[in-house]
Structure 1
Amino acid sequence: MMTTPNVTLASPRRDWRMFPQRIVARQQNVRGTTQRFSAQPLILALSAVAFVLYLVLAWRVRRRPQSQLDLRATLLLQRLRSPLIARIFHSASWFGFRPQSLILPSLTIVGFAVTGNRRESLYLVLAWLASLGSFFTKLVVRRPRPQDPLIRIVPAALRDTSFPSGHTIHYTAFWGLTAYFLRRCSSVPVALRRLLISCLGALIALVGPSRVYLGHHWTSDVIGSYLFGGGWLGLLITAYQCGRQTQRE
């Protein structure tokens, strides 16, 4: 006589109980993806506006290199004679001079690469290339450096023309993207991440005024540099986010 083996069927109740949780998880993933993608058109639009304003300002500066408004802004900023303020502005500009302007970005790129973040290191190389925008713009605009006798000019090895500020473009694009990557880097302790991001943010904010304070650039040079560097940074962040989403899919 044949016996029928006892087969215990899994109860579907457990799967049905898990189903709402899966729905919620999927909704959260879709919501996060939607939020990321909804920000990308805005970032691209802001980058486009920044580039347009940069070109308009470059055209304006090329036609009228001298500006009384620039001179007044420089004199107003240089009224700050505090030794502490002077030391802060000198320190903010120091990172943009050679050889440290070559050594520090190189070490940053290598650091990301050897820790397994090769894609991020490639984007940092692209961020460094923003300096080419400064180089070619200087060839076209050819604005003289500040030379007014009322301006206090700190001696430095300045090799090229005034518009735009290479320091400011480099800080905004390269160190701005570095701060963005650090914010996403979960392997770095939170406290250290916050400290590094705060320091980089302070450098980016201070480098522009420091270039004017030291008498190396006009205020319009710095404004144009923030526009170009910010536009370049926005393009790289958008491309990076799109690449990550494509890779996940």
Structure 2
Amino acid sequence: MTLLLNQQPRYLQLAQTLIHEIRDGRYAVGDFLPTEFDLCEQFGASRFTVREAVKRLVQMGLVDRQPGVGTRVLAREAVSGYQQVMRQLSDLQQYTADTELEIFARDLVEVDETLAPVLRAGTGESWLHLSALRRSGGEPEPICVSDIYIHPAFRALEGIESSSHVPIYTLIEAQFGEHIAAVQQEIRATLITPAQARWLNVKPKSAALWICRRYLNRREEIVEAAISIHPADRFSYSETFQRDWRAAS
């Protein structure tokens, strides 16, 4: 059994140990870390401690968790900011669980000509609007500032807390019987506005990623749309495309 002797929380101790082992080459890029059970046995740690430690490595961009497959090493050194790895909708749910949404404003907005194409809504419609910051772990600065828009049919949504790890769309599903069938994501480069800069503590006109996610029901109607602005040095996005060998043969 490997002992962890430190005053830090045990999950941080374990995370630091795994980071050193990856840097030292014990686990090369492409290798899989030991299973959750094996890590518990090796370090005498609980499943919660192991999961939190691995979550920390995921946030640093060092490893990628794949349900039913394992935890694969992606890099020897941590990437800057938060790295989001996307393969399926459950990865988006994991992103929400790994980060914290802090809502600082709630109001109704009337859709104008600028917002209409983003929401695919008619001008004059009144949508519920949430302004929020999203934070990762113990990082001092937010990874993004977000504007979340909820369709007029769900403006009476309850249970929206000022700080949450629960996806907004799951509240809509639970309270209104709606079902999210797909999420459309659009990404482009942008410059941070003065108002966004104040919330993010960066300089105006800094480089950023503009990410819009549209949550669609089975009728392909937008139930929720979230527009997030990520400073360039605080967020990276990773997506894996697998070849369809049957189509290629």
Higher Rg: 1
TM-score, with structure 2 as normaliser? 0.21
With the length of structure 1 as denominator, give the TM-score of the two structures: 0.21
